[in-house]
Structure formats: C-alpha cells, structure tokens
Structure 1
C-alpha cells in the first residue's frame, strides 16, 4: 500500500494505458485501478431526422388488439 501511495501517478498512467493495476495490502489484492469510462456524447434532437419512418397507420389500433385490451375478442 505504501508503494502504491508513492507511485500513484505512475500507476494511474499505467491504468489509463490499459494495464490491469491491482493494489494489494499484505499480499492480498484490495483495489483495482480502472479508467473512468468516457461520458457518452450528448444527444442532439433531430439528429435522426430522415432516418426513421413511421407507417401512415401508426395511430390506428387493429380491432382484434383493441378487443384484447378490453378483455374480449374481435
């Protein structure tokens, strides 16, 4: 643990480079250093425009499905 404290910057650099860095105390693994995942890109409203198509009958519910919601049959 003492060695990890004195070498923390170097250990962080190794973890950022993809190395598996495990810090131990008395020979027992205690902590694994891993990079924080990058923040996902911010979604831009309208960025999928013209890539998605909604069918003309999207809002029309078929009678058999409507009947199923009511607990009956068509």
Structure 2
C-alpha cells in the first residue's frame, strides 16, 4: 500500500490499522518512497538467558573493580588518551 504525505497525515489511524494487519505501507513524497511504516519488532530482553554461562567469580571481580576509583592510566584510556 502507498500513501502520499498528505494522505498519510489525513489517514494515519487507518494506515496504522493496515500495518497491524501485516500490510506494508510506503509513504511517498513527490511520487518517490520517503518512509515505510512497519510494525514494531517483538521480543526483547530474555531474563536468565546467561544463567550458568557466566563465572560468578568474574562477576564479583567486575563489581569489586567498580567500587575502586580508576587509576590515572585507566582514566587516560577511558578518556581516549
């Protein structure tokens, strides 16, 4: 499905309904594709996906390192120097 910018402004709700039904909606400007309406990606964070894959000692060492201030060398590297 295609819609001009003007049509998209006027019928945005209908175009979003079409996208929700799985249609591809291309918005055109001066007859040329300018944008595409697509449904949002599903999924995201899966909690527990690293369970058993990360050594708890490494995690503890990382957390301990966060509690100490950076050395002059670490700070220089952090700042890109």
In structure 1, the gaps of 5 or more residues are: 50-74
Root mean square deviation of aligned Cα: 2.1
Alignment of 1:1-74 (within 5 A): 1-40=5-44, 42-44=46-48
In the comparison of the two structures, how many residue pairs are matched?
48
Deviant stretches of 4+, over 4 Å: none
Q: Which has the larger radius of gyration?
A: 1
TM-score by length of 1: 0.53
Larger fraction in helix: 2
- By relative contact order (CA 8 Å, sep 6+), the higher-ranking structure is 2
Structure 2 residue runs without a partner (length 5+) = 53-81
